């Protein structure tokens, strides 16, 4: 079968195309997001109205909260952001899914004693806890089996305070499937009617590390984001994957053939708003990501943040674009062209929402088109409106 390349004009947004997707979301486009965290929660919940084929490559490097306790106990990837995305994409109109959502998002009491929490975990494993009784079969049986498994796996020193039940379920599946996340993600995606594909960018236990402009090195995502510790006051100069929180030694990480295939099958690739370094750039660190993107013939779109992002202190918008391009091209800097990895930048019509102006001469030389439109509504301000953004992205497919 011959393969040809075509160019065409599109309206942004395109009401006719969007309505066509809405009437048959099972045949919707494969929009691929490189992300992590909660910035895309609204986008994910909204996009399932138009496509059940979106792909979400998620960072597994979080080192804070409930994920950190599991990572320390089992030397495993972080699963919190994966859990969040699975639940955001789950079809809540399916019988039993609201109860599954309630279970997966529930956290154990941070004020309870360890003995009280062990008793509650036993009730979950025995199937007598109200949260598990509310979940219909067959999901109830699967969750109960996971609770039995994690109860057997955790040590006496494991701290259950604030533990996410969804994280415990995914951790049990990871441990019971040869320390692989893909099988448990696939199983729960099917049972919870998840309308999209969720996958970690790599099945590794590495940590994020950054070097600041003042020469200081910081290891651990939770120390970089400004959410669990004081925000950074010095500009990030570089970022890499380190072997542990105790060692900043870089580790080599590559994406799998399956992840590469998901990128190659995309009909649009989005580098979305969110934590710039720990969500977007972190996903580009494993070898093979840039080359896979470059081989994929589809629109590639960057959506800069409009709200505050502590990770880009000292960065102008132009510097963010330059950093993004550096990491997109690092697999083969001499052969990957800008047009292979970035075509469009979508910004709000109010340019004052960004730090510094765009270098339009540079963007023009590199063949990057800037799309300026009203991304922010009264309800979403100062952040991008998820529904508005989805209509733009879907119109570009």
Q: What is the pTM of this model?
A: 0.96
pLDDT digit string (tens) for 286-304? 999 999 999 999 999 999 9
pLDDT in tens, 135-153: 999 899 999 999 999 999 9
Rounded distance, CA 100 to CA 132, Å? 9
In this structure, what is the dihedral angle of CA atoms 28, 32, 37, 42, given to the nearest 10 degrees?
A: -30
The whole-angstrom separation of Cα 390 and Cα 43 is: 7
Chain centroid to CA 15: 28
CA distance 152 to 328: 42
Q: Which of 98-112, 219-233, 311-325, 383-397 has the lowest mean pLDDT?
A: 219-233
* Residue in this structure with the two tokens 């441990």, named with its chain if needed: 175
Q: 210: which strand partners? A: 218, 239
pLDDT reported for residue 357: 85
- Confirm if 392 and 31 have CB atoms less than 8 A apart: no
Token pair 């505050």 is at which residue?
308
Cα dist. 108→59, 111, 125 in Å? Answer: 24, 9, 14
Q: What's CA 198's distance to the chain center, in Å?
A: 8
* Both tokens assigned to 396: 């570009």
pLDDT band at 235 (very low <50, low <70, confident <90, very high): very high
Go through the domains of the chain in sequence order and give each one's CATH number.
15-28+37-56+255-396 (3.40.50.10680), 65-200 (no CATH)
Q: Which helix (H) or strand (E) holds 32?
A: strand 31-35
């Amino acid at each position: 079968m011959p393969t040809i390349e075509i160019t065409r004009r599109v309206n942004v947004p395109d009401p006719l195309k969007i309505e066509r997707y809405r009437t048959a979301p099972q045949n919707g486009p494969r929009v691929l997001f490189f992300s992590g965290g909660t910035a895309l929660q609204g986008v994910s919940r909204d996009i399932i109205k138009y496509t059940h084929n979106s792909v979400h490559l998620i960072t597994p490097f979080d080192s804070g909260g409930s994920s950190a306790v599991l990572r320390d106990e089992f030397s495993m990837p972080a699963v919190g952001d994966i859990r969040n995305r699975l639940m955001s994409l789950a079809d809540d109109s399916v019988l039993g899914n609201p109860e599954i959502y309630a279970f997966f998002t529930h956290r154990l009491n941070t004020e309870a004693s360890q003995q009280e929490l062990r008793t509650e975990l036993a009730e979950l494993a025995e199937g007598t806890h109200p949260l598990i009784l509310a979940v219909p079969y067959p999901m109830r049986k699967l969750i109960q089996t996971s609770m039995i498994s994690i109860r057997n796996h955790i040590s006496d020193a494991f701290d259950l305070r604030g533990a996410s039940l969804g994280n415990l379920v995914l951790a049990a599946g990871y441990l019971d499937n040869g320390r692989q996340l893909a099988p448990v993600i696939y199983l729960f995606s099917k049972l919870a009617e998840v309308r999209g594909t969720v996958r970690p960018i790599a099945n590794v236990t590495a940590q994020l590390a950054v070097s600041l402009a003042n020469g200081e090195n910081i290891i651990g995502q939770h120390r970089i984001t400004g959410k669990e510790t004081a925000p950074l006051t010095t500009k990030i100069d570089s970022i890499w994957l380190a072997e542990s929180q105790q060692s900043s030694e870089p580790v080599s990480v590559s994406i799998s053939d399956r992840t590469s295939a998901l990128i190659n099958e995309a009909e649009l690739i989005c580098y979305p708003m969110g934590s710039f370094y720990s969500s977007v750039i972190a996903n580009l660190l494993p070898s093979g990501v840039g080359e896979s993107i470059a081989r994929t013939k589809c629109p590639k779109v960057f959506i800069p943040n409009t709200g505050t992002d502590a990770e880009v202190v000292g960065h102008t918008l132009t510097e963010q674009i330059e950093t993004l391009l550096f990491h997109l091209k690092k697999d083969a800097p001499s052969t990957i062209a800008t047009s292979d990895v970035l075509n469009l930048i979508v910004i709000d019509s109010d340019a004052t929402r960004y730090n510094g102006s765009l270098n339009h001469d540079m963007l023009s030389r590199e063949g990057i088109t800037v799309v300026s439109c009203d991304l922010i509504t009264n309800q979403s301000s100062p952040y991008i409106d998820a529904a508005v953004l989805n209509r733009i992205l879907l119109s570009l497919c």
